[in-house]
Structure 1
Amino acid sequence: MPQIRDLTAELEKLAPLSYQEDYDNAGLIVGNPAEEVTGVLISLDVTEDVVEEARRKNCSLIIAHHPIIFKGLKKLNGKNYVERTIIRAIQYNIAIYAIHTNLDHVGSGVNRMIAERLGLENLKILAPKKQLLKKLTFFTPISHSQVILDALFNAGAGQIGEYKHCSFRIEGTGTFLPGKEAKPVIGTPGSLEEVNEHRIEVMFPSHLENAVLGALRKTHPYEEIAYYLHLLENENQEVGSGAIGELPSALPVQDFLQLLKIKMNASVVKYTEPASVTIKKVAVCGGAGSFLLSHAKSAKADVFVTADYKYHEFFDAENKIMICDIGHYESEVFTKDLLYNYLSGIFSNFALCLSDVNTNPVKYFV
Structure 2
Amino acid sequence: MHLRDALSVLETIAPLRLAESWDNVGLLVGDPRQSVSGALLCIDYTPAVAREARDLGCDLVVAYHPPVFEALKRVTAPGLVFEAIRDGIALYAPHTALDVAPGGTNDVLADVLGIGERTPLQRGEARPTHHKLVTFVPEEHTEAVAAALFTAGAGKIGEYTEASFRAQGTGTFLGGEGTHPAVGQAGRREAVPEIRLEVLVPSARTMQAVAALRASHPYEEPAFDLVMLAPEPVTTGIGRIGDLLTPTPLGALLGRIKEGLGVEALLVSTPDGVGDETAIRRAAACAGACGKLFEQAMAQGAGLYLTGELRHHDALKAAQAGMTVVCALHSNSERATLGRVRSRLQEALPGLQVHLSASDHDPFMIR
Shift of 1:296: 0.8
Q: Determine the C-alpha separation between the residues in 1 that align with 2:239 and 2:331.
A: 16
Tell me what 1:113 maps to: 108
Shift of 1:259: 2.1
Q: Determine the C-alpha separation between the residues in 1 that align with 2:82 and 2:192.
A: 68
Q: Is the 8 A contact 2:19 2:95 kept in 1?
A: yes
Shift of 1:244: 1.0
- Cα gap change, 1:192/1:19 in structure 2, threshold over 3 Å: closer, same or farther? same
Tell me what 2:140 maps to: none
Tell me what 1:243 maps to: 240
- Cα gap change, 1:228/1:297 in structure 2, threshold over 3 Å: closer, same or farther? farther
Percent identity between the two aligned chains: 26
Q: Is the 8 A contact 2:121 2:284 kept in 1?
A: yes
Q: Deviations over 1:103-160 (max 9, x none)?
A: 1122221101111223220021111112246699899xxxxxxxxxxx968659xxxx
Q: How does 1:346-357 map to 2 (within 5 A)?
A: 346-357=348-359
Q: Is the 8 A contact 1:253 1:278 kept in 2?
A: yes
- Cα gap change, 1:40/1:320 in structure 2, threshold over 3 Å: closer, same or farther? same
Tell me what 2:54 maps to: 55
- Cα gap change, 1:252/1:155 in structure 2, threshold over 3 Å: closer, same or farther? farther
- Cα gap change, 1:342/1:209 in structure 2, threshold over 3 Å: closer, same or farther? farther
Shift of 1:335: 2.0
Shift of 1:76: 4.5
Please tell me the root mean square deviation across aligned C-alpha atoms, in Å. Answer: 4.0
Q: Determine the C-alpha separation between the residues in 2 that align with 1:258 and 1:245.
A: 19
Shift of 1:237: 1.3
Q: How does 1:287-306 map to 2 (within 5 A)?
A: 287-306=288-307
Q: Determine the C-alpha separation between the residues in 2 that align with 1:355 and 1:303.
A: 30
Tell me what 1:15 maps to: 14
Q: Determine the C-alpha separation between the residues in 2 that align with 1:121 and 1:227.
A: 47
Q: 2:336 aligns with which of 334, 337, 340?
A: 334
Tell me what 1:28 maps to: 27
- Cα gap change, 1:321/1:29 in structure 2, threshold over 3 Å: closer, same or farther? same
Q: Determine the C-alpha separation between the residues in 2 that align with 1:15 and 1:55.
A: 26
Computing the radius of gyration from Cα coordinates, the structure with the larger value is 2
Q: 2:255 aligns with which of 250, 258, 282?
A: 258
Shift of 1:261: 2.2
The number of equivalent residue pairs is 312
- Cα gap change, 1:192/1:61 in structure 2, threshold over 3 Å: closer, same or farther? closer
Q: Is the 8 A contact 2:292 2:310 kept in 1?
A: no
Tell me what 1:364 maps to: 366
Q: Determine the C-alpha separation between the residues in 2 that align with 1:105 and 1:361.
A: 24
Q: Deviations over 1:162-221 (max 9, x none)?
A: xxxxxxxxxxx9965699999xxxxxx96999xxxxxxxx9xxx89999xxxxxxxxxxx
Shift of 1:283: 0.5
Tell me what 2:42 maps to: 43
- Cα gap change, 1:96/1:244 in structure 2, threshold over 3 Å: closer, same or farther? same
Q: Determine the C-alpha separation between the residues in 2 that align with 1:153 and 1:233.
A: 15
Tell me what 1:67 maps to: 66
Q: Determine the C-alpha separation between the residues in 2 that align with 1:289 and 1:99.
A: 17
Tell me what 2:280 maps to: 279
Please tell me the residue identity of whatever aligns with 2:100.
Answer: H
Q: Determine the C-alpha separation between the residues in 2 that align with 1:346 and 1:306.
A: 30
Q: Secondary structure at the match of 2:315?
A: helix
Q: How does 1:76-115 map to 2 (within 5 A)?
A: 76=75, 84-115=79-110
Shift of 1:235: 4.5
Tell me what 1:163 maps to: none
Q: Secondary structure at the match of 1:352?
A: strand
Q: 1:345 aligns with which of 344, 347, 357?
A: 347
Q: Determine the C-alpha separation between the residues in 2 that align with 1:176 and 1:298.
A: 58
Q: Determine the C-alpha separation between the residues in 2 that align with 1:127 and 1:37.
A: 37
TM-score (normalizing by structure 1): 0.71
Q: Determine the C-alpha separation between the residues in 1 that align with 2:42 and 2:182.
A: 59
Shift of 1:319: 2.4
Shift of 1:56: 1.7
Name structure 2 gaps, 5 residues minimum.
135-155, 162-166, 174-180, 184-189, 195-199, 207-223
Q: Is the 8 A contact 1:136 1:227 kept in 2?
A: no
Q: How does 1:143-182 map to 2 (within 5 A)?
A: none
